[in-house]
Amino acid sequence: MLKCLSITLVVLIIIPNSPLNAQYNCMNYLCVAGQKKLVITSINNSGNEKTKDEYILRELPFKVGDSILLLHVQPQLELAKQQLINTGLFLNVVFEPIINGSNLQLAIIVQERNYFFPSLLFELADDDFDIWWHEQMRDLERINYGAAISWRNLTGYNDRIVASFLSGFRREFFISYSHPAIDRKQRMGLSVSYSRQSNREIAYSIMNNQYSILKQDEFISTKSNLKFSISYRKSLFAKHTFGISINRLQVADTILNLNPVYLPSTSDNAGYIEASYKFNFLHVDNRAYPLKGTAINFQVAKAGIFKSDNIKMASANIDLHYYTSLFDQKVFTSSNVETYLSGGAQLPFAKQAVLGKQTNQIRGYQFYNLLGTSILLFKQEVKCRAINKSVKINLLPEKFEQVNFQVYPKVFVDAGAIQNKMPDTNFLLNKWLFSFGAGIDLVSYYDSVLSAEFVAGPYFQPGFFLRWQVRSF
């Protein structure tokens, strides 16, 4: 592991220009043999007890009747396996090609995951574990509890229903259903969701990069959201999504007394309709923990479609990820650039963007609250695979007995800035912020990632941070 980490440190300092995938090289006589053209005559699936055959075929870069060069068979099978694994439906996928003259027969053997997950919920009210541990002093009252159910692949087409209920520090109800292939050609998708959340605590202002918080025994804010989306995916990697949502936010009168611009009007509630468009391009080796490939997310949204809507604003977001390997796949690098822009005649405190929380996080700044209208973020990470093991635990059910885990030592640098036209006493706004450090990622069970990181920067004390998440684009 020490050798792996030392190589990683050197690569972070000097990253050579390297293509994502090396070109295939071969001797002349092998190239001639590789030019032989094969015709795919059959594709047979097995092991898919729940998943429909046509949904598996949907994810393949080829179909029965296609011609393919012998030289391209192996790369195409690797791409097909990558696509099937990235559906999140299978633990393992195996291709068995049979070549008979100029005919190519394919057998696909899949091992399905468990699709039904009922669970008891126990979560923190704070955005980050370290905030709860250090700032809130492990306050057990700041805990939410409840139950949830996630049922995937109900009809065999990777559709999913999720429902959850939380009580405790906040009260929340959520339900959603999504289906990625509702038409005959399996290009159109549909999703609908509803959520309602009530809070006993609300951040109504910000001073010195820290929230001013009002906390009461009763619920003082309620927000609800009903959203409908239609998606279209013609190719393997690109998807377009059009959405419309109905939103409502209501707060106690006390909040408006403390901050008159918390909402865009003197009323204690705001309702608006928001329309959005999102383009997603995903071509990575593993969507749960990518090591090679490209991911692009672009989204624009317009809140306040009708004259009666209280909140009127527009926003745009671009999120770019690039992953590649170096030194014969011994070292992996990732680069991320994200920008967010928003504006409008009525941009209340409640709708300002946040930097340093959740996905657009500059590591180490979890203890600061940074609000504004525009965000620019850069992240660079270099890692190597130190451990790659698979352990079979016979005592567990079949779909859980194979435990795979990988360990990646890493080094990283984050940098970003958030713009706010009225920074007031918030000294971290309108300036470049950065952090750097080293850590370890443990990638294991059902796409879960545990990160332990030591982070340093100019505006906070160096320290260790712990994060756990189920990663997916």
How confident is the model at residue 16, as a pLDDT?
42
**pLDDT of 29 higher than 50:** no
> Has residue 15 been placed in a domain?
no
Q: Based on the domain organization, do 204 and 324 belong to the same domain?
A: yes
Vertex 300, ends 447 and 371: CA angle to 5°?
Answer: 80
Residue/partner pairs of 146-149 with CB below 8 Å, 24 or more apart: 146/120, 146/121, 146/172, 147/118, 147/119, 147/120, 147/121, 148/118, 148/119, 148/121, 149/116, 149/117, 149/118, 149/119
Q: What percent of the chain has pLDDT over 70?
A: 87
**pLDDT of 353 higher than 80:** no
Looking at 112, 144, 164, the residue that finishes a domain is: 112
- Categorize the per-residue pLDDT at 25 as very low, low, confident or very high, splitting at 50, 70 and 90: very low
DSSP string for residues in 287-338: TTS-SSEEEEEEEEEEE--STT-S-EEEEEEEEEEEEEEETTTTEEEEEEEE
For the stretch 201-232, pLDDT in tens is 888 888 888 888 888 888 999 999 999 999 99
> How is residue 135 annotated by DSSP?
I
Q: Cα–Cα distance between 405 and 444 in angstroms, integer?
A: 4
How confident is the model at residue 361, as a pLDDT?
81
How confident is the model at residue 27, as a pLDDT?
38
Nearest to 59 by CA among 38, 41, 75, 81: 81
> Has residue 143 been placed in a domain?
no
Q: Based on the domain organization, do 104 and 226 belong to the same domain?
A: no
Q: Based on the domain organization, do 437 and 355 belong to the same domain?
A: yes
- Selected residue with higher pLDDT from 267 and 214: 214
Lowest mean pLDDT among 400-404, 414-418, 442-446, 468-472: 468-472
How confident is the model at residue 124, as a pLDDT?
73
Number of domains in the chain: 2
> Has residue 395 been placed in a domain?
yes
Residue/partner pairs of 113-117 with CB below 8 Å, 24 or more apart: 113/88, 113/89, 113/399, 113/446, 114/397, 114/399, 114/400, 115/50, 115/89, 115/151, 115/152, 115/153, 115/154, 116/149, 116/150, 116/151, 116/152, 117/149, 117/150, 117/151
For the stretch 97-111, pLDDT in tens is 999 999 999 999 999
Q: Based on the domain organization, do 101 and 220 belong to the same domain?
A: no
> Has residue 150 been placed in a domain?
no
Mean pLDDT of the chain: 87
**What domain range includes position 40?**
36-112
> Has residue 170 been placed in a domain?
no
**pLDDT of 21 higher than 60:** no
The CATH number given to whatever domain includes residue 96 is: 3.10.20.310
Average of per-residue pLDDT across 182-194: 96
> How is residue 132 annotated by DSSP?
I
pTM here is: 0.86
Q: Cα–Cα distance between 164 and 364 in angstroms, integer?
A: 31
Lowest mean pLDDT among 135-149, 228-242, 458-472: 135-149
For the CA atoms of 11, 12, 14, 16, the dihedral, rounded to the nearest 10 degrees, stands at 60
Q: Based on the domain organization, do 104 and 219 belong to the same domain?
A: no
Residue 4 burial (CB count, 10 A): 18
**pLDDT of 265 higher than 80:** no
For the stretch 223-261, pLDDT in tens is 999 999 999 999 999 999 999 999 999 999 888 889 888
Nearest to 373 by CA among 393, 352, 397: 352
DSSP string for residues in 201-270: EEEEEEETTEEEEEE-SS--EEEEEEEEEEEE--SSSEEEEEEEEEEEEEE-HHHHHH-TTSSSSSSSEE
Q: Based on the domain organization, do 85 and 203 belong to the same domain?
A: no
Q: Cα–Cα distance between 294 and 20 in angstroms, integer?
A: 9
Looking at 91, 112, 133, the residue that finishes a domain is: 112
Q: Based on the domain organization, do 208 and 78 belong to the same domain?
A: no
Q: Based on the domain organization, do 187 and 57 belong to the same domain?
A: no
How confident is the model at residue 131, as a pLDDT?
65
**pLDDT of 17 higher than 70:** no
> Has residue 266 been placed in a domain?
yes
> Has residue 162 been placed in a domain?
no
- Selected residue with higher pLDDT from 168 and 385: 385
> Has residue 465 been placed in a domain?
yes
- Categorize the per-residue pLDDT at 30 as very low, low, confident or very high, splitting at 50, 70 and 90: very low
**pLDDT of 267 higher than 80:** no
The CATH number given to whatever domain includes residue 411 is: 2.40.160.50
Q: Based on the domain organization, do 225 and 78 belong to the same domain?
A: no
Q: Cα–Cα distance between 254 and 364 in angstroms, integer?
A: 33
Q: Based on the domain organization, do 283 and 389 belong to the same domain?
A: yes
Token pair, residue 139, equals 């306050």
Looking at 112, 136, 164, the residue that finishes a domain is: 112
Q: Based on the domain organization, do 358 and 444 belong to the same domain?
A: yes
How confident is the model at residue 467, as a pLDDT?
85
Q: Based on the domain organization, do 427 and 332 belong to the same domain?
A: yes
Cα–Cα distance list, 434 to 97, 210, 319, 362, 376 (Å): 50, 18, 18, 7, 12
**pLDDT of 6 higher than 70:** no
